[in-house]
Amino acid sequence: MKKLLDHIDFPSDLRQLNPEQLPELAKELRDFIINIVATKEGHLGASLGVIELTIALHYVFNTPNDLLIWDVGHQAYGHKILTGRKNKFHTNRQLGGISGFPKRSESVYDTFGVGHSSTSISAALGMAIASQLKGEDRYHIAVIGDASIASGMAFEGLNHAGVTDSNLLVILNDNAIGIDPSVGALKQYLTNVKKGKEKQDNIFEALNFDYSGPVDGHDFNTLISELERLKRIKGPKLLHVITTKGKGLKQAEEDQVKYHAPGKFDAKTGNIIPKTERNQPPKFQDVFGYTIVELAKMNSKIVGITPAMPTGSSLKYMMDVLPDRAFDVGIAEQHAVTLAAGMATQGLVPFCNIYSTFLQRAYDQVIHDVALQNLPVIFCLDRAGLVGEDGATHHGVFDLAYLRCVPNMIICAPRNEVELRNIMYTAQLGLNQPIAIRYPRGRGLMMDWKQPFANIEIGKGECLKTGSKVAVLSVGTIASTVSEAILEMHEIQDQIAHYDLRFIKPLDETLLHTIFKSFSSIITIEEGTVNGGFGSAILEFGALHHYRNAIRILGIPDQFIEHGTKSELSTYVRLDKEHIKSEIQLILKS
């Protein structure tokens, strides 16, 4: 027996159904997503929570003429399946497959590329104003979650939209959770609204939005009726929709944090399939999490800050043990950085833990509020380098370049877990200037990582292996790949020296003078952009001191890298072991 979903490839097919058929379609769409994500992995809970809303939006509005924007995009799997990508959905987040986030180049239905939060209202307003100027009659819908709408950029969009007469509909998808549970005063306000306990003017009406809701986001009759009504109302409108993240999968509803992106699980039972983790090194995020707790017990001035990623960053360990000194500030990277700066002015030692890709959102605060005032904020940049299946919006490959040009900033890329612990220890002893410590997603290589703390000399590199003809300079955890490559080059390995510079800023100039005078050929290797990063710093050093060595830079090329496994992407950008061996052989032959 054919299912309703079998007949639907595009929203135009969906609109041929009777409203009474939509609940069955919702069940089929949920099952479709569950069965594929169970084996292919991905963001599960958010998409399951908005199935009815997704169907209702494409049913009521004439997409793609009417423009629909999903904030962040974690919740867009149902949208993708209903807009021409059903037969390709099994390739989601895989190399050469469809993206895990809406992407303009992928479909006309993906009206705006997303991946970072709180952009939808501004983008939709921009489109609405453009439609007005061009005399076009269309609707513009921004779907944003309760965690994302608390971000400053969302308020900026709301503030502007409220003084326009643009045809904009903001749908607040309120499920009380982002990746971790939502936090802050706005969350409490929305909770009061849902409970009918308002004691003040409606905040959205105060911003000149026509507010309606809260409504049940899993009730088709209510959703469709309200969306049809709102189509007839001019100006900015906001519909408050209550949904349950993970709806339709019992375990995903009960453990919404774990089932945000659960990895592989049993599609029938919902149980997560445990990964083989016996005798494996910890994740770098956990090394950070355990270490900051150790340090904070030793140093009462230490505080921890994360913008909405307590689980992902493992700051949750400190929040559990020392809740008064660890802060989840919500999706507010700008605030997180300046909050840390304020704390630093009063003698506290703030560890500000932000994913590398998300620190981009607070670049001005890093420069103006921290570095310009030379405040000793300790930035711990998780997910630095290639992150894998989340793709171009999430790779942390720009931080070395965008931080290296900032005065007063120390930049360190520890090569292993022990070095990460030791630079964290060193930083909290009192550097009197800001430092950024970058480390990758995933597991390290060391079982005996929890060693006694040792001080690291700032700006000091290290020779990992001597050699006679070519010097390989690396920063960060890619040092282990370089070391493996050199070990496999049996006949010529005595010609290859390997140095871990550790610090991109300040550079170990004493060591570099020795290297430049000792080797005619140098290779730099980093999991950051070739333009402006570590390799560029080495080139600048050579030019400044009039060296004429042959220098080859290996790193992320000048392009946005798409999604795939970490291994696949490392091969693509020629940072895998085999390509490193090939580059060394080439330079030795030249």
Catalytic residue numbers, as ranges: 245, 333, 361
Q: Cis bond leading into 506, ω under 30°?
A: yes
Instruction: Give me the sheet containing 67-70, strands edge to edge.
Output: 67-70, 140-145, 168-174, 237-242, 210-216
* In contact, 284 and 442? CB cutoff 8 Å: yes
Rounded Cα distance, 332 and 382, in Å: 16
Q: Shortest CA distance to 578 belongs to which of 587, 570, 566?
A: 570
**Residue 19, number of CB atoms within 10 A of its CB:** 12
User: Across-strand partners of 500?
Assistant: 462, 474
Alpha helices in 284-385 (DSSP H): 284-298, 310-313, 316-321, 333-345, 356-359, 363-364
* In contact, 471 and 518? CB cutoff 8 Å: yes
* In contact, 218 and 243? CB cutoff 8 Å: yes
* Sequence-distant (≥ 6) Cβ neighbours of residue 363 within 8 angstroms: 402
Rounded Cα distance, 89 and 87, in Å: 6
Strand, coil or helix: 76:
coil
The pair of structure tokens assigned to 142 is 């921004």
The pair of structure tokens assigned to 515 is 């290297």
CA dihedral 173, 179, 180, 184 (to 10 degrees): -50
* In contact, 570 and 485? CB cutoff 8 Å: no
**Residue 554, number of CB atoms within 10 A of its CB:** 23
Rounded Cα distance, 523 and 579, in Å: 13
Full 3-state SS string of 214-247 = EEECCCHHHHHHHHHHHHCCCCCEEEEEECCCCC
CA dihedral 110, 113, 117, 118 (to 10 degrees): -80
Question: To which H or E segment does residue 419 belong?
Answer: helix 417-428
The pair of structure tokens assigned to 37 is 């994500």
* Sequence-distant (≥ 6) Cβ neighbours of residue 85 within 8 angstroms: 98, 106, 107
Q: How far apart are the first and last CA of the chain?
A: 67
